[in-house]
A and B are shown apart, each in its own frame.
Chain A
Amino acid sequence: MRALCWHGKEDIRCDRVPDPGIEHPRDAIVKVTSTAICGSDLHLYDGFMPGMQSGDIMGHEFMGEVVEVGSENKKLKVGDRVVVPFTIICGECDQCKRGYFSVGERTNRNKDLADKVFGHTTAGLFGYTHLTGGYPGGQAEYVRVPYADVAPVKIPDGIEDEKVLFLSDIFPTGWQAAVQCDIEPTDTVAIWGAGPVGQMTIRSAILLGAKQVVAIDRLPERLSMARAGGAITINFEEESVIERLNDLTGGKGPEKCIDAVGLEAHATATIDSIYDRAKQMLMLETDRPHVLREIFYVCRPAGTVSMPGVYGGLSDKIPLGMFMNKGLTLRTGQTHVNRWTDDLLHRIEEGQIDPSFVITHKVALDDGPRMYKTFRDKEDGCVKVVLKP
């Protein structure tokens, strides 16, 4: 089969690789009908995420048709249409039982390595670093889905792929980012990053009733999409984020702040961002936490910070004194996807939201390597790429 494989920094290729097969009676094989490139795939593409190996199959946002089912899998049957959440869950461990699916205890097949690096393992993820299991991903014609009797979400006929594909990651991620802010109708919610997750977060915050939603980015096309979703926008290259947020909140700062940027912040005109760039270049720091610093500074005391943005390792000059003295609450983590998928599928079916609005590029799988660059460089107005194997 064909698959997009990682071969090093900025080196993704569409390779011929062996077809996957059933390895465990709970498995299923899914023929991929739609898959997407995620912002966190770019951290692998740019070489910021440790634990990748040449030949790893990329992709953790995918859906398709079940073509083979293991003997113990009572949930799926051949022909079922499914969206596969990016977190691989067993449904039986303590964390899964508590709904903390992204930190499940059993699905990371490199648990020993993860225990050493993270202290305790987190769940296995598709198409990601070997720290999270190194499972072959979904930017391919076929995928083996482990524990396929738990996580896959069955999709009724009649809903196009594009409307439900993002249940695999970015829609639940944006939703959880907003939910864990515990939004009140009086709240201003400020969201750093108007990429795909930021866009989903904006709409989630609107649906959850925020009084005011503010989106911060520098790309005019993404800011226009943010405004369409109901956000007030701030272009950080044209105005001060701090001053504008304070103006919008009567000088008090937003109650809820969401970091939908993560480790590759693109601020360039601040001292701390230059410092981060230099340290990252000298391999003295893995992440560029400019957004977190700005959030801790501007967030209203006793406010809540939600951090869906991905961080990879070590960050420097995080103002913990500011964080502590202001009594901020920080909620973060990979998304507990299955906690939200039933509810969000209903909202899509009811027409409350159509996540396909974010798709700007739809291409064949073979065009994937080129689209990684287009997406990374934000060329051609690219916000979200869907690949058709």
Chain B
Amino acid sequence: MAFQQSSRANGSVMALARGLGWFSIGLGLAEMLAPRMLGKQLGMEGKESLLRFYGAREMAAGVGILMSDNPGPWIWGRVAGDALDLATLATGLDKQNPRNGNVAIAVAAVAGVTALDCISARALTGATRPVPDYSDRRGMPRPPEEMRGAARKDFTPPRDMRTPEELRPFRSQPAQEPVLHSRA
């Protein structure tokens, strides 16, 4: 049996991606349901609408990751979102923000998740594993070209599974009388 390389990811890479998907949904829910509290903790009051929008983005990415067989593009989408989050949080590091300590913690947390996103996205993009080549599994004694139509010699579809004669293409030959499907 020959093998070739495929871009399909292995189980551990997919598990990390799924974990990030659930994290995305959790964070998205928090941002959508409690934007005022989050804004207050970060000293960023008045940005509730922005936080809700970010929450919707996180939710969409999470659902996309969990529902997709190929979550790579969704994870790259998360990386882009992380950059947006970091840029937004950076505006809160101002010394005049009494909560800038909380913002610094949030920046560190987002940076950590960004690193995981990057690892996952790169692994999904570059993942290869051997895939068997089944081109020797014909299942018939001779090449398909020689086997084509072999069953037509002794088989006619039963009448209830045939196109009614009246609905067949105009130029087709009259069908033979149906024969029993079984030769037993």
Contact = CB atoms under 8 A, between A and B. Distances in A.
Nearest to B70: A268
B174 interface: no
Interface in A309-332: 329, 331
A331 B67 CA distance: 30
B183 A185 contact: no
A220 B131 CA distance: 7
Interface stretch (A109-117, A225-233, A245-253): A225-233
Given A268-B68, A354-B139, A230 B181 contact: no
B70 A354 contact: no
B184 A342 contact: yes
Contacts of B63: 277-278, 281
Contact of A352 (B11, B134, B140, B145): B140
A363 interface: no
Interface stretch (B31-39, B78-86, B89-97, B158-166): B158-166
Interface string A44-81: 00000000000000000000000000000000000000
B135 interface: yes
A327 B63 CA distance: 38
B69 interface: yes
Contacts of A347: 151
Contact of B149 (A180, A207, A355, A383): A207
Contact of B182 (A184, A206, A343, A355): A343
Interface in B138-169: 138-141, 143-145, 147-152, 155, 157-158, 160-163, 167
Interface string A136-165: 000000000000000000000000000000
B137 A352 contact: no
B169 to A, nearest CB: 8
Contacts of A99: 158, 160
Nearest to A237: B70
Contact of A227 (B66, B135, B147): B135
Given A230-B144, A268-B69, A358-B139, A381 B131 contact: yes
A225 B151 contact: no
Given A221-B134, A268-B68, A209 B181 contact: no
A242 interface: no
A240 interface: no
A22 interface: no
A297 interface: no
Interface of A: 99, 176, 179-180, 182, 184-185, 199, 203-204, 206-210, 219-222, 224-225, 227-230, 237, 266, 268, 274, 277-278, 281, 302, 304, 329, 331, 339-340, 342-343, 346-347, 351-358, 360, 377-379, 381, 383
The 3 A-B pairs of least Cβ separation, nearest first, read A230-B144, A209-B149, A357-B139
Interface of B: 4, 6, 8, 10-11, 63-64, 66-70, 131-141, 143-145, 147-152, 155, 157-158, 160-163, 167, 172, 181-184
6 contacts: A207-B140, A221-B6, A302-B167, A343-B184, A377-B11, A383-B134
